[in-house]
A = this chain, B = another copy of it.
Amino acid sequence: MGPEIKKIGVLTSGGDSPGMNAAIRSVVRTCAYMKVDCVGIYRGYQGMIEGDFKPMDARSVNNIINKGGTILKSARCDEFRTPEGRKMAYEQLRAEGIDAFVVIGGDGSFHGAMTFNEEYHFPIIGIPGTIDNDIFGTSNTVGFDTAMNTVVDVIDKIRDTASSHNRLFFVEVMGRDVGHIALNAGVGAGAEEILIPEENRGLERLLESLKRSKKSGKSSSIVVVAEGDKIGKSVFELKEYVEEHLPIYDVRVSVLGHMQRGGAPSCYDRVLASRMGVKAVESLLEGMTNFMVGVQNNKIILTPISKAIKGHTKIDKELIRVSEIMTT
């Protein structure tokens, strides 16, 4: 076990997600409870390099558990990918007396943390904060549950107008490499079709499905498309393709975009973030390092951060089947 840890830094990094503030609050309050100092590191690794630090006590995080975004701000930081950048970061941390840090973010953020740990043997723990749920070693990332709710709320609204006009809507949701949001929110919103990066079932199948849907007497259709869908057509090209081949449809497009990252976190995400923050601080104090906190089977667990980065989450085949049955 390394030297005693007396001061812990906390930062958010990469794309923000709802519940990051709840995770920050948990890290800060657990430090206070454990009588360890806590320092907020602003703007992710960029702020680490620049020494943009602020001490935080239990009251610094009042009234943030229900707020979207991150009070510590976030940023992507190319400099931290260079040895020079990481050296500056290390020097800033030492100057501030920070002995370890908790990084809340996604894949890229964990990669940076791991490299930093290798070079400087600096204790780090990761908390998975991203709406995409694409991190191995945890069944849920902080923000995923909220994003699903945001998407179904919006599609519920779109369906109101779709079914009033007998229209077909293509709705693009986030998920560059993974279709978790698309698949879950698609099933939750009662979508007729769901196009995800993990499966390319071709345009023919889409046309067939839409024809069947029309024949079955449905008055409107929603097709949910993940950004990174492998058919390789943008949602606007899909619209044109369908209008050409199925002129019976009046097709519209909606790209949900960044609203999916914001909003008050769901209860689940707040509780998950709170649990993970406790575990992160406790693990550092117990001498653990280079782990990511995750949840499996509703238990909080640790996964080596190297495995979290290299592993791949898999799309749930059973859920794909459920989605097909539901569009009967």
Contacts and interface: CB of A to CB of B under 8 A. Distances in A.
A290 interface: no
A33 B15 CA distance: 35
A259 B75 contact: no
A298 to B, nearest CB: 5
A319 B275 contact: yes
A262 interface: yes
Counting chain A residues whose Cβ lies within 8 A of the other chain, the interface size class is 35 or more
Given A188-B271, A268-B268, A325 B159 contact: no
Interface in A3-45: 12, 15-16, 18, 20, 25-26, 29-30, 32-33
A10 to B, nearest CB: 15
Interface in A147-178: 148-154, 156-166, 169
A217 B59 contact: yes
Contact of A157 (B62, B259, B268, B300): B259
Nearest to A257: B254
Interface string A257-297: 11101111011101100110010000000000000000011
B63 A159 contact: yes
Contacts of A200: none
A204 interface: no
A36 to B, nearest CB: 12
Interface in A236-262: 252-255, 257-259, 261-262
Given A271-B187, A326-B26, A264 B156 contact: yes
Instruction: Name A's interface SS.
Output: helix
A322 to B, nearest CB: 5
Contacts of A274: 187-188, 322, 326
Contacts of A98: none
A301 to B, nearest CB: 11
Nearest to A161: B261
A82 interface: no
Interface stretch (A64-72, A110-118, A303-311): A64-72
A300 B326 contact: no
A152 B267 contact: yes
Contacts of A214: none
B145 A262 contact: no
Contact of A268 (B12, B148, B263): B148
A141 interface: no
Given A157-B262, A157-B263, A255-B255, 18 more contacts: A12-B164, A18-B160, A59-B216, A59-B217, A63-B159, A66-B156, A69-B160, A70-B164, A73-B166, A148-B267, A152-B267, A156-B262, A161-B261, A187-B271, A188-B268, A188-B274, A274-B326, A296-B297
In the A-B complex, list the 8 residue pairs whose CB atoms are closest, starting with the nearest: A157-B262, A68-B160, A160-B262, A69-B160, A148-B267, A188-B267, A297-B297, A188-B270
30 contacts: A12-B164, A16-B161, A20-B164, A26-B322, A30-B325, A32-B328, A33-B325, A62-B219, A63-B159, A63-B190, A65-B190, A67-B160, A68-B157, A68-B160, A68-B161, A69-B163, A73-B164, A73-B219, A148-B266, A148-B267, A153-B264, A157-B259, A158-B258, A159-B262, A188-B270, A254-B255, A255-B255, A275-B322, A297-B298, A300-B318
